[in-house]
Amino acid sequence: MTDTSFTPTTQPGDWASDQEVRWCPGCGDYSILTALRMLMPSLGTEPRNTVFVSGIGCAARFPYYMNTYGVHGIHGRAPAIATGLAMARPDLDVWVIGGDGDMLSIGGNHLIHALRRNVKIKLLLFNNQIYGLTKGQFSPTSEIGKVTKSSPMGSLDAPFNPLAVALGAEASFVARTHDMDRQHMMDTFQRAHAHDGAAFVEVFQNCNVFNDGAFEGVTKKQNRDANLIPLRDGEPIRFGADGEFGVIDEAGCARVVHTADVGDDELLVHDESKHDPSTAFMLARLARGPFEPTPIGVFRAVRRSEYAMATTRQLAAAQQKQGAADIGQMLRSRGTWFV
Amino acid sequence: MTDTASRELPLQEIDEVIIRFAGDSGDGMQLTGDQFTSISAALGNDLSTLPEFPAEIRAPQGTLAGVSAFQVRISDFDITTPGDAPTVLVAMNPAALKAQLHNLAQGGALIVNTDAFNERNLEKAGYATNPLDDGTLDDYRTYPVPMSQITRDAVAQHGVKPRDAERSKNFFALGLISWMYTRPVEPTLEFINTKFRGRTQVIDANTSAFKAGYNFGETAEIFEAHYEVKPAPLAPGEYTNVNGNTALAWGCIVAGQLARLPVFLGSYPITPASDILHEMSLKKNFGVRTFQAEDEIAAAASAVGAAFGGALAFTSTSGPGLALKGETLSLAVSLELPLVVLDIQRGGPSTGLPTKPEQADLMMAMYGRHSESPLPVVAPRSPADCFDVAIEACRIALKYRTPVIVLSDGYLANSSEPWLLPDVNSLPDIGVEFATGFNGTNEDGDGIFLPYLRDPETLARPWAIPGTPDLMHRVGGIEKEDGTGNISYEPENHQLMVNLRQAKVDGVDVPDVEVAGDVDADLAVLGWGSTWGAIDAAAGRLREAGFEVAHVHLRHLHPLPANLGDVLRRYRAVVCPEMNKGQLCDIVRAKYLIDVSHIGKIDGVPFTTGEVTDAVRKRLEELSTV
């Protein structure tokens, strides 16, 4: 996966800004920040060519902590800001950081449109299933019945499944990772960065103040074997300490089975580059929540025309066809007369 | 142009004519009006147009709601408005007649398509009896013409299906009017060939219909004369006919060239601003990147992103969209990035009157953002002026690193006038330098970049774009520390930053306002935006009537010209016609404590010269009795 001939020109420390990190002690955001800072030197890019864009929320403070260019925007609009930036500057690496409220509630519209356009931005959704910065209301990924300050009798809202939303929006790259596994985060972010198009990564992120342990059922060390299903391209989908569990396709639905019951040949072989998103969708919906076997890794990675470069190609084609910019010609294009 | 013996009709010279073409929205009235305008422009007339169309694409045929009209005024003298009342009305059906007759000047000429006055159409238009023969039209010179029938006969030779044959009747009308006002036929024949290239039957049908209309005027013995409007004494040079939206789009594109920056437009389609998106989308060879966003907010947000990346960024919209962009604009105020917002005002509130003009977004442009969020506001006064104002808005945005709002409106957007093409080489250089190196030092004496260290003169902050070595920095909507741009919640710092942002906008280099007309008059008419033409013409009329009137017209609404208070205080009375409930009046009253009186009109139709004249005259007469 890592290009061994590549010699990094930067160290993780070069990617850290001089600003004090102000997340709550114990927040999952710290480990994501560390993973990204550690990953950056290996990406073959420079801080000056990198931009982190965010909206509002705890996660959205992320740009301040990276020694890159950064825009801390307004609530929900980061994918739109990043789209304009990526269109104007296809030469840059543009990352978008946001939480579940930012990207799936107030900014849901911008997220799905950025994904369908396939503009080259890397969207990392820090999903903690709660509103943190506003001090603990239910979010669009909170489970039904969640008791919070704004839902004292339990939330009535059915949650979004972020990966299913992204797949429904025709995302060309969809992945999931979690804040308890730095290497898995780094591998996943690296894949997102390498993808030529919009890349969407859901990161299970623990909010230890308002929603502590929301993902423990799958991310805690002792639960991982039983409840995390690592997706590996080209391999049968199996998990468990000894690979005793697997996933099969049962009439269009993913189902967890004992491998011994069905035989190895029946297991679903993961194909992330399969153009039809049905299998990825089925896998995205395998778990009802982070308390039962849940796939992580790259669900989908397909090639599709990248938006900013397609825009650039249209500019070139227009120059070819209409000629170079000529103000005089434009001003005369509707016909003129002399007095 | 005909072989048949033509009658010798007298040719009368007239100084102007105001023609209104009216028909169903599918009748091609806009096309007809546009083409008549083009030929008249080429003849050297001064001209001004007023298109008027329903918000629906195709309202039910034959109904009042579906009437589309195009007014064009041509003259042999300098004009600034499309005229108050048409002197010629072409009515293609009963609904057009019913909707438009009240506009026609007393004794005006009325050319009606009699074929359309059947029972069904009369009923749809709400006529109990046929106005053609019940005396309704007694006050007008009526010319009944069976346009549909003659058109059908004329195009029959081309094998056009009977159902389609009548579609050429707008060209019949154009031919007839071309004859009446002695316009040359060749430009229209060329236009038909170009417009419908590749559709031979359509070209043949429209050509035949146009010629039939022209010949009808010459041979049918119902017209007493035909007319000639000589060229106007316009300044010598090369002209084009341009409407406000096109001029605005071109201004934005040219500004990019003048600033040597790539142009980015983020926009969401909205009437009456969409044509700006269309026009700029056609100019990709200028390196213009247009982005049709998922909504108004994304349109503005994408422009903020592009501006951060170093583009000259625009977002175009109308009132409802400006409301949605409010929070994003306050972000741009806080980030202190250049951004130009084009607001083509329309009637409101809410959806209001999408195709009709209003000037009621002024307060929203000034104050329609949360907290203290000042930004410059400019407004064009005529269609061609949109070009210069677009460049001026960009100049301010770039020099001061600030969002700027341009307030045009639905009238300027679609109305057109002859425009003396500017000398491209004389246009201003509005380029600015990106930051390329450190501008400060830390305690250890090392170079650092301070993204909010301001230019002492303009108070603009440095614009360092991604890709620049060493200048990595973060900007955000949270209050920033002066200089470093780091997050700061310090009370004194916030007060300082609020003051600095205001001082920066207050310090924009706005030229002094100049007084037009009678500088020493007792009364000044204050205006802004598209009312310029009507005020200018009204002042002219009042002058002819022996009054003295000064005209003060604002291009810069925020900040206001530094001399405005002193100028206005010279007058015993100041009146301000606006298509709103008195928004500029309120601003001027609040700022200068000057008792400006409001002349309002919010009916979706621009001020006529007559309306302004009457209102100002009333005030003048009050003054003379005091």
* Residues A304 and A197 sit within 8 Å (Cβ to Cβ): yes
Q: Which of A47, A49, A88 sits opposite B262 (nearest CB)?
A: A88
Contact B476 A64 (CB under 8 A): yes
Cα distances from B356 to residues B322, B345, B366, B387, B581, in angstroms, run 17, 9, 22, 21, 16
Which residues on B lie below 8 Å from A64 (Cβ)? 474, 476, 487
CATH class of B240-426: alpha beta
B240/A332 Cβ within 8 A? yes
Ranges of residues in chain B whose predicted pLDDT is under 70: 1-7
Counting every residue, how long is chain A? 339
Spell out which residues of chain A touch residue B268, defining contact as CB-CB under 8 Å: none
Of B236, B294, B305, the CB nearest to A85: B305
Cβ-defined contact of B472 to A68 (cutoff 8 Å):
yes
- Taking contacts as CB-CB distances below 8 angstroms, the residues of chain B near A14 are none
Residue B558 near residue B376 (C-beta atoms within 8 A)? yes
Residue A90 Cα, gap to closest chain B Cα (Å): 10
Query: Do residue B306 and residue A85 have CB atoms under 8 angstroms apart?
Result: yes
Query: DSSP character for B511?
Result: P
Tell if the CB–CB gap between B304 and A319 is shorter than 8 Å.
Answer: no
Average pLDDT rounded to a whole number, residues A109-119: 98
Best probe of the A interface among B282, B285, B427, B488, by most A CBs < 10 A, is B285
What fold is seen in the domain B515-625?
Rossmann fold (3.40.50)
**Is 80 exceeded by the pLDDT of residue A1?**
no
Q: CA B278 to CA A210: how far, in whole Å? A: 48
pLDDT digits (tens, 9 = 90+) for A216-250: 999 999 999 999 999 999 999 999 999 999 999 99
Total residues belonging to chain B? 626
Residue A114: which of A76, A142, A141, A140 has the closest Cα?
A: A76
All residues of chain A having their beta carbon less than 8 Å from the beta carbon of residue B295 are 109
Calculate the CA A330 to chain-centre distance. Answer: 43
Task: State the pLDDT at residue B3.
Answer: 45
DSSP string of B568-597, one letter each residue: HHTSSEEEEEESSSSHHHHHHHHHH---EE
Domain locations in chain B? 11-228, 240-426, 433-509, 515-625
Do the domains B515-625 and B240-426 match in fold?
A: yes
Nearest partner of A170 among A111, A85, A215, A255, judged by Cα: A111
- What residues of chain B lie within 8 A of the CB of A336, using their CB? 238-240, 421
pLDDT, tens digit, 9 for 90 and up, residues B87-135: 999 999 999 999 999 999 999 999 999 999 999 999 999 999 999 999 9
**Taking CA atoms, what residue in A is nearest to B240?**
A336
pLDDT at A332 over 50: yes
Find the DSSP H helices in B220-291: 244-259, 274-281
Residues of A with CB below 8 A from B298's CB? Answer: 77, 80, 83, 109-110, 113
A22 Cβ contact partners less than 8 Å away, ≥ 6 residues apart: A61
User: Does residue A20 carry a pLDDT above 70?
Assistant: yes
Q: Smallest CA–CA separation between B451 and chain A, in Å?
A: 11
Helical segments of B444-521, H only: 491-506
- The answer on pLDDT for A4 being more than 70 is no
| Cis omega (within 30 of 0) for bond into A159 | no
A136-146 pLDDT, tens digit each: 999 999 999 99
Phi and psi at B526, nearest 5°, equal -100, 135
Q: Does domain B11-228 have CATH number 3.40.920.10?
A: yes
Cβ of A49 within 8 Å of Cβ of B467? The answer is: yes
| B254 interaction partners in chain A (CB closer than 8 Å) | 327, 330
Its ipTM equals 0.97
The predicted structure's pLDDT at residue B221: 83
pLDDT number for residue B2: 47
Of the candidate ranges A37-41, A331-335, B53-57, B158-162, the one whose mean pLDDT is the lowest: B53-57
A12-214+305-312: CATH class: alpha beta
The full set of domain ranges for chain A reads: 12-214+305-312
- Count contacts between A and B (CB, < 8 Å): 200
CB contact under 8 A, A70 and B471: no
Element (H, E) at B447: strand B447-448
Q: With contacts defined as CB-CB under 8 Å, which chain A residues touch B304?
A: 71, 73, 81, 84
Residue B292: its pLDDT value, please?
98
- Are A315 and B297 inside 8 Å of each other by CB? no
